Amino acid sequence: MNSKQTLFLVEVAIMSALALVLDIVPFLSFKIWPQGGSVSFAMIPVFLVAFRWGLKGGLLSGLLFGIFQVVIGTAYILTPLQGLIEYGLAFTVLGAAGVVSNKVQSTLKVNKYRSFFVYVSLGVLLGCLLRFFGHVAAGVVFFAEYAPEGQPVWLYSVIYNGSFMLPAFILSSIIIGFLLYKQPRLVLVRR
Residue 127 in 3-state DSSP?
helix
Question: 38 and 57 in contact (C-beta within 8 Å)?
Answer: no
pLDDT in tens, 63-95: 999 999 999 988 889 999 999 999 999 999 999
**CA proximity to 44, closest of 13, 70, 22, 71:** 22
Contact 44, 95 (CB under 8 A): no
Residue in 10, 89, 15, 2 with CA at minimum distance from that of residue 51: 15
Euclidean distance between CA atoms 41 and 104, whole angstroms = 20
Q: Is the pLDDT of residue 29 over 70?
A: no
With cut-offs at 50, 70 and 90, classify the pLDDT of residue 157. Answer: very high
pLDDT band at 9 (very low <50, low <70, confident <90, very high): very high
